[in-house]
């Protein structure tokens, strides 16, 4: 059995983090297009079809099918491989796309598989398979607000996920149930049972600002939760970006902003 490349790393920063990956000669890391930040001389960049894992070595048809599935989760058909072709250790860094935290995931210690939101994957050691995970339950299929189709990371190497805001890592005991906003769920290990549950009651349906569905997660396993989903952040920015300030055509003028606590 061919193992994933064993890479060392360090995560730098607080709110806008990046991960610096250390590559030995001939070691490779793969990343989504747009994640690259900087690299040492002696590292070769190459665009590859799919994720470059061993699971894609089934001929052209297998590669097309494996890479094509990534389109279903809104990802690119291609990824970028960074290989140390020089002598000695080299470093390549990948930046987080928005304020939050980078989560290191050692797949070897987590049962070889982690399920995550479709935009959570940042980069990984070459050999880690980045595919899709179909949720088989009817409730999940109809009402998964963040997507019926999720991403799965498989292998025995290091992978890195990114989440918005603060990240909570929670270990669920066997049978322990946790209910989470669908957007706040970053990922979970393969042993966790995942579904979407309807929040009943006419008051929740009509007036519940948080929506009428949430994710239910039942242990055993590990769960990662984010405080600021990118969809929530984008919605708030859009709300304020199209918001008409009180001094524009308001009788109160700039006084309206002062009363509202905005000031100048």
Give dist(CA 221, CA 115) in Å, integer. 11
Flag whether 12 is in a domain: yes
Closest CA to 145 of 79, 243, 235, 66: 235
Determine the length of the chain. Answer: 264
**How many domains does one find in the chain?**
1
Flag whether 135 is in a domain: yes
pLDDT value at 65 more than 60: no
Flag whether 260 is in a domain: no
Percent of the chain with pLDDT over 90: 46
Residue that has been written with the tokens 């730098």 in this structure? 12
pLDDT value at 222 more than 90: yes
Cα of 45 vs its chain's centroid, Å: 23
pLDDT value at 124 more than 60: yes
What's the domain range around 170? 8-242
User: Does residue 148 or residue 184 have the better pLDDT?
Assistant: 184
Flag whether 264 is in a domain: no
CA distances from 20 to 33, 108, 236 (A): 16, 20, 31
Question: Residue 108 carries which DSSP code?
Answer: G
Flag whether 169 is in a domain: yes
**61: exposed, middle or buried (Cβ count in 10 Å: 0-12, 13-18, 19+):** exposed
pLDDT band at 4 (very low <50, low <70, confident <90, very high): low
Cα of 186 vs its chain's centroid, Å: 6
Flag whether 253 is in a domain: no
> What CATH number has the domain bearing residue 22?
3.60.160.10
pLDDT band at 207 (very low <50, low <70, confident <90, very high): low
Average pLDDT over residues 92-111: 94
Flag whether 257 is in a domain: no
Flag whether 262 is in a domain: no
**Least confident among 83-97, 128-142, 174-188:** 128-142
Average pLDDT over residues 214-239: 87
Question: Of the spans 2-11, 32-41, 67-76, 226-235, which averages the highest pLDDT?
Answer: 32-41
Question: Of the spans 27-31, 32-36, 73-77, 182-186, which averages the highest pLDDT?
Answer: 27-31
pLDDT in tens, 49-60: 777 775 545 555
pLDDT value at 34 more than 80: yes
Give dist(CA 24, CA 124) in Å, integer. 15
CA distances from 42 to 5, 6, 35, 204, 230 (A): 18, 18, 19, 58, 35
Give dist(CA 259, CA 242) in Å, integer. 20
Average pLDDT over residues 190-219: 72
Average pLDDT over residues 17-34: 93
How many CB atoms are closer than 10 A to CB 163? 29
Token couple for 133: 């995970």
């Amino acid at each position: 059995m061919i193992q994933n490349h064993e890479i060392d790393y360090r995560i730098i920063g607080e709110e806008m983090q990046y991960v610096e990956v250390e590559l030995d000669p001939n070691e490779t890391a793969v990343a989504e297009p747009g994640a690259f930040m900087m690299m040492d001389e002696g590292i070769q960049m190459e665009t590859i079809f799919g994720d470059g894992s061993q699971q894609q070595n089934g001929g052209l048809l297998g590669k097309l099918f494996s890479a094509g599935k990534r389109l279903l989760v809104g990802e690119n058909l291609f990824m970028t491989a960074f290989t140390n072709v020089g002598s000695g250790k080299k470093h390549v860094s990948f930046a987080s796309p928005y304020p939050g935290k980078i989560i290191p995931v050692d797949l070897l210690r987590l049962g070889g598989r982690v399920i995550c939101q479709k935009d959570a994957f940042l980069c990984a050691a070459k050999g880690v398979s980045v595919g899709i995970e179909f949720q088989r339950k009817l409730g999940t299929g109809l009402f998964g607000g963040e997507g019926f189709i999720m991403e799965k990371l498989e292998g025995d190497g290091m992978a890195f996920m990114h989440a918005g805001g603060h990240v909570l890592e929670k270990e669920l005991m066997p049978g322990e149930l946790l209910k989470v906003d669908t957007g706040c769920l970053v990922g979970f290990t393969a042993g966790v049972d995942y579904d979407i549950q309807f929040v009943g009651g006419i008051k929740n349906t009509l007036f519940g600002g948080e929506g009428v569905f949430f994710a239910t997660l039942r242990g055993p396993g590990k769960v990662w939760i984010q405080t600021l989903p990118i969809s929530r952040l984008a919605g708030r920015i859009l709300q304020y970006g199209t918001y008409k300030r009180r001094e524009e055509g308001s009788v109160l003028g700039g006084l309206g902003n002062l009363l509202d606590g905005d000031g100048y």
